[in-house]
């Protein structure tokens, strides 16, 4: 039995798929819901033996991890073709973005070996053409650049932003409860409140 039936997942995700954003309101089709259900079950299975996320409740995982990631995906620039998810952890927001936007080439950067192994298993199971960079983003060749770099729940946000800025040709997309300090040559846009949170916001920093 899956942790949650697909109709329950769809209901939990609906608030994150409508409202403001560059993309129109979205309904997840059955194939996407099936992939999110598979991803949830895989995450719960792995989380039972290795600490991928402190959140254990399936509904809360869907809201906090899947929902907030999909909310970020709706606010991507329509011009986004390449995306780096820096400090991807268990794949948020990178994997939900890759599921919703298959036209975007997504790279997940995660230096912790157990989490990088989970990411590889996830993208293999979900059939996603996503790259996993299993080292610090700073070790990427200097020639590697991405239209957008995403950051969520990283340990040291200022250090992560400093690592992300040289990689982003157009924008940084940050999910945070506190306003970040934009790096030089970037302009921070007004915060966008994340549904179902008291203090969570989506921040965009646009390269000047």
pLDDT tens for each residue of 37-54: 999 999 999 999 988 999
Q: In this predicted structure, what is the pLDDT of residue 18?
A: 81
Residue 73's pLDDT band (cuts 50, 70, 90): very high
Considering the four listed CATH numbers 3.40.50.150, 2.30.31.70, 3.10.20.740, 3.90.1310.10, the one that applies to the domain covering 6-207 is 3.40.50.150
What's the mean pLDDT in 17-35? Answer: 83
Q: Which residue has the tokens 């230096």?
A: 111
Residues linked to residue 193 through DSSP beta bridges, in sequence order? 201
pLDDT at 192 over 80: yes
The CA distance from 197 to 1, in Å, is: 30
The CA distance from 205 to 190, in Å, is: 9
What's the mean pLDDT in 61-65? Answer: 95
What's the mean pLDDT in 81-102? Answer: 97
Going from the C-alpha of 40 to that of each of 21, 142, 148, 192, 207, the distances in angstroms are 25, 35, 25, 26, 34
- Per cent of the chain over pLDDT 90 is 84
Q: Which residues contact 186 (CB under 8 A, 6 or more apart)?
A: 165, 171, 172, 205, 206, 207, 208
Q: In this predicted structure, what is the pLDDT of residue 202?
A: 96
pLDDT digits (tens, 9 = 90+) for 142-178: 999 999 999 998 888 899 999 999 999 999 999 999 9
pLDDT digits (tens, 9 = 90+) for 114-133: 999 999 999 999 999 999 99
pLDDT at 60 over 90: yes
pLDDT at 140 over 90: yes
> DSSP class of residue 194?
P
pTM of the full structure = 0.95
The CA distance from 65 to 138, in Å, is: 25
The CA distance from 69 to 175, in Å, is: 9
User: What is the overall mean pLDDT for the chain?
Assistant: 94
DSSP string, 155-166: S-HHHHHHHHGG
Residue 96's pLDDT band (cuts 50, 70, 90): very high
């Amino acid at each position: 039995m899956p942790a949650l039936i697909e109709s329950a997942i769809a209901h939990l995700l609906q608030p994150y798929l409508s409202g403001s954003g560059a993309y129109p309101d979205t309904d997840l089709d059955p194939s996407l819901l099936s992939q999110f259900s598979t991803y949830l079950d895989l995450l719960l299975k792995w989380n039972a033996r290795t600490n991928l996320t402190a959140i254990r409740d399936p509904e809360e995982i869907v809201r906090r991890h899947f929902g907030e990631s999909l909310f970020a995906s709706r606010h991507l620039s329509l011009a986004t073709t390449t995306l780096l998810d820096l400090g991807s952890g268990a794949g948020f927001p990178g994997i939900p973005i890759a599921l919703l936007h298959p036209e975007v080439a997504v790279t997940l950067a995660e230096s912790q070996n157990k989490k990088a192994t989970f990411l590889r298993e996830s993208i293999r199971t979900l059939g996603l053409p996503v790259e996993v960079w299993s080292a610090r983003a700073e070790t990427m060749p200097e020639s590697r650049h991405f239209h957008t770099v995403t950051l969520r729940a990283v340990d040291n946000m200022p250090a992560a932003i400093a690592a992300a800025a040289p990689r982003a040709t157009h924008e940084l997309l940050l999910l945070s409860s506190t306003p970040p300090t934009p790096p030089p040559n970037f302009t921070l846009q007004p915060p966008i409140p994340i549904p179902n949170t008291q203090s969570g916001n989506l921040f965009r920093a646009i390269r000047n």
